[in-house]
Amino acid sequence: MINTLKIFDDLKETMEASAARKITEVIAAMYEELKNSVTKVEFNELKEIVSELAEAQKRTELRLEELAEAQKRTELRLEELAEAQKRTELRLEELAEAQKRTELRLEELAEAQKRTELRLEELAEAQKRTEEEVRKLVHEHGDTRKQLGGLSMTVGYTLENEAYKALPRLLKRDAGLTIKGKLNRQYVTDNKGQYIEVNIVGEAAKNGKKIFVVGEGKSQLSKNDVDDFIRKKLNRLEGVFANIFPVLITHMISSPGIGEYAKKKGIALYYSYDF
């Protein structure tokens, strides 16, 4: 007789009680049905089938446990992904806020650019006005320089005109020169064959020797004026006149020592108040 209790206990060790009970009942029923007709060999085959079913059940339950563990891991991973998704959404919100701030800043920069361009246009207009004013000032300055140049020439000519009258007496007194004819202003051909204007020129005599007076007037005489007179007039007339007596006349000197400097250069210097 089949021991159903033992079969139930054996099956219960590897599966749930309900499943073990059901299989035991099936085996008992099959046993009752087949005990008078099933051979020993067939019964052994049946036992092998039952054993195989039990093993399959074990593998199924093991697979179910593995699937349960996999499910747990999947759920854990899903939770991690959900947290990551939350962080991603939070980061997206932060980026969206940053984008809003960026767009706002861009709008502010665009407004600032408009103001800058407007300011540049204003500056360009101001520059145009400034350039126009400068152009006018340059033109006026040119006119002023022309007027000053004309005035300077007038003053210089006036000084020299007075010198034509006074120098004969002064040169006679100080250098023993006797002026032949008159002192005047004229163009003279220099030693290179070019015409130069000589402001004071005239022939004189001393102890029977012919001498040429060459002079120039400066309202305010400077050291540079002395050097220019030597370079531009005396040097260029060297060899044209046999004997030159150089003279400078002025209202005043630009700094102390100019009179001594002219004297060292062999130039007679007279002031307007000497006239």
DSSP states of 13-51: TTS-HHHHHHHHHHHHHHHHHHTTT--HHHHHHHHHHHH
pLDDT range class, residue 148, cuts 50, 70, 90: very low
pLDDT in tens, 12-45: 888 788 888 888 888 888 877 776 665 666 667 7
Q: Please state, in angstroms and rounded to a whole number, the distance separating the CA atoms of residues 110 and 104.
A: 10
User: Which CATH number goes with the domain that contains 219?
Assistant: 3.40.1350.10
Asked if residue 27 is part of any domain, the answer here is no
Highest mean pLDDT, choosing among 48-52, 66-70, 183-187? 183-187
How much is the average pLDDT of 60-66?
86
Q: Please state, in angstroms and rounded to a whole number, the distance separating the CA atoms of residues 47 and 143.
A: 136
How many domains is the chain built from?
Answer: 1
Asked if residue 231 is part of any domain, the answer here is yes
Q: Please state, in angstroms and rounded to a whole number, the distance separating the CA atoms of residues 62 and 101.
A: 58
Asked if residue 234 is part of any domain, the answer here is yes
245: left (phi over 0), alpha (psi -120 to 50) or beta: beta
Q: Name the residue range of residue 236's domain.
A: 156-274
Asked if residue 9 is part of any domain, the answer here is no
Torsion sign over Cα 221, 226, 231, 232: positive
Asked if residue 47 is part of any domain, the answer here is no
Give the DSSP H or E segment for 52.
helix 40-175
Asked whether the predicted pLDDT for residue 220 surpasses 80, the reply is yes
Asked if residue 33 is part of any domain, the answer here is no
Asked if residue 229 is part of any domain, the answer here is yes
Q: Which residue has the higher pLDDT, 259 or 130?
A: 259
Mean pLDDT, the chain, rounded, equals 87
If we measure between CA atoms, which residue out of 157, 271, 264, 266 comes closest to residue 221? Answer: 271
Asked if residue 209 is part of any domain, the answer here is yes
